[in-house]
Structure 1
Amino acid sequence: MPPLPPFVADTLCPPPGRYPMSWEEVEHSLVRAAALEASSTRSGLWAELQSHRALVECLYGSVARIWLAGSFVSGKLDPSDVDLAYLIDADVYGRVTEPDDIADLANLSNREWCVKHGMRIDAYLLSLPATVDFRDLGTVGAMAAGDSEVFQTLGLYDDIWQRCRPGHGHRRGYVEVAL
């Protein structure tokens, strides 16, 4: 996969867009890169993210993709947390029905709970659409029930992950990790 492009000078973020990277490339580019090796937070955040991901995968069985954003996906030396969205295949997303598992997932997507439990993680759990053949999207009745809302939610998060804090007036890029 191509590397993450250079950060834009005035935002320290990647240019707008979604950049595919492997899990190993994320670690190399955003944790172990020479320009970030003096960070006092990145290694710890990476370890916390790995633990968080393992917990989410234990409950779902699998995660299809992860969108990483925020200051962790920037040139900021010491980000304070990791912002991410787990994208879960539709058939897997709906499979979690045990009340304890649902409560655990709610906790894992609650920033305050995560921080209280030693993970500086701000995570969202999103379903991917059940419709996998793009040719079905324009055919009336061919798209899976509920997929219209799923596509709207994914579009919303795509837009959110590309926004900078107020006052910066710029858009930024984020990373997509296929698992």
Structure 2
Amino acid sequence: MTPLPAFDRVTKCPPPGRFPLAWEEVESELVKAECFADSSTRPDLMSELRMHFALVEIATGAVGRIWLAGSFVSRKINPEDVDVTYLIPSDAYGRATEDPDTVDELDNLGTKDWCVRHGMRVDAYVLRLPETADFQALGVAGAMAAGDHKVFEELGVHDEIWQRCRRGENGVPDGTRRGYVEVLL
């Protein structure tokens, strides 16, 4: 895979878009890069993210992809947390949400205060991936799996959220967009 593009001078984040990286590349680009040599939080945040990921994977049985955003995917030397969205394959998500205990567990893993109390500075969301596999047929009436319309909407909302900059923060003009990372598993 290609490395993460250079951070934008205005947003201090990747340029707009979603950039695929493997776990090793995330660590190389966002933790061990020379520009982060003085970071006191990035190595621990990476460890906490890996622990959090393992808990989500145990609870759901599978994680398809991960989206990382926020200050962890920026030039900020010492981000305070990691913003993450877990994309769970449809079948695994269905099984996980049939069990009330697993639903409670995922609710905890998606609650920032719970995560912090358990030693993980992670702000997480868990989303289902679409069941629809044949994307060439999406324009054909009835080709989309039941419920996938809502799934696609939810994914689009989170994609939009992760690409937005906070209004007027640090002199960034309103409406400015940023990129984020998709961890391929």
Number of residues paired by the alignment?
Answer: 179
**Structure 1: how far apart are the matches of 2:87 and 2:73?**
18
Whole-angstrom CA distance in 1 between matches of 2:177 and 2:16: 6
| 5+ long unaligned stretches in structure 2 | none
Q: Check if 1:9 corresponds to 2:5.
A: no
Deviations 1:46-87 (Å, cap 9, x if unpaired)?
010010000001111110000000000011000000001000
Q: Residues 101-143 of structure 1: CA distance to partner in whole angstroms, max 9, x if unpaired? A: 1111110011111111111100000001000111121111111
Q: Return the alpha-carbon distance in structure 2 between the equivalents of residues 92 and 39 of structure 1.
A: 36
Q: Give the deviation of 1:91 after TM superposition.
A: 0.7
1:129-168 alignment runs, 5 A limit? 129-167=130-168, 168=172
How far apart, in 2, do the equivalents of 1:100 and 1:92 lie?
A: 15
Say yes or no: does 1:101 pair with 2:102.
Answer: yes
Structure-1 residue corresponding to 2:184: 178
Identity %: 60
Determine the C-alpha separation between the residues in 1 that align with 2:144 and 2:26. 34
CA–CA distance in structure 2, aligned partners of residues 85 and 160 of structure 1: 11
| Superposed displacement of residue 37, structure 1 | 1.3
> Deviation of residue 166 (structure 1)?
1.0
Structure 1 segments of 4+ aligned residues over 4 angstroms from their partners: none
Q: CA deviation at 1:98?
A: 2.0
Specify the alignment match of 1:24 in structure 2. 24
Q: What RMSD over aligned residues (CA atoms) do the two structures have, in Å?
A: 0.7
The corresponding residue for 1:125 is: 126
Structure 1, unaligned runs of 5 or more: none
Whole-Å separation in 2 of the counterparts to 1:136 and 1:37: 48
Give SS of 1:144's match.
coil
CA distance in 2, matches of 1:62, 1:178: 13
